Amino acid sequence: QVQLVESGGGLVQPGGSLRLSCVTSGFKPGFTSANYAIGWFRQAPGKERERVSCTSSTIGNTYYADSVIGRFTISRDNAKNTVFLQMNNLEPEDSAIYYCATDLYYYCWPTGDYWGQGTQVTVSS
């Protein structure tokens, strides 16, 4: 019932930018994505999944992995039930499949009960 759909990935050169979006749906009546923490994760080939960024429920606290601080920004458009990840100054090490997730809890970091299908980000010259 709960669904998350990522988009916005692609191929960019080092130093480039991408904006990922996570469109959510299927929450119970009276509830929206604004009520829950939404996290961004990524997984590169041969590596474990890692945390990237997270935004908590309506208060809007945000969290970032050390590796992306100052380069990535997470934000919400609550009217559209969408969470964005603005990625600037991308590096080859950022190449991965990016997923958004929620566990219908209020605080970061979600452990992940619901995941999107992922969107590929490739940073290469």
Per-residue model confidence (pLDDT) at position 47: 96
CA separation for the pair 100, 95 (Å, rounded):
16
Mean pLDDT, residues 90-117 taken together:
93
Tell me the pLDDT band of 3, cut-offs 50, 70 and 90: very high
**Residue 39 predicted with pLDDT over 90:** yes
Q: Report the SS3 class of residue 80.
A: helix
Q: What is the mean pLDDT of the chain?
A: 94
Q: What token pair was written down for 97?
A: 């499949």
Per-residue model confidence (pLDDT) at position 46: 95
CA separation for the pair 71, 69 (Å, rounded):
5
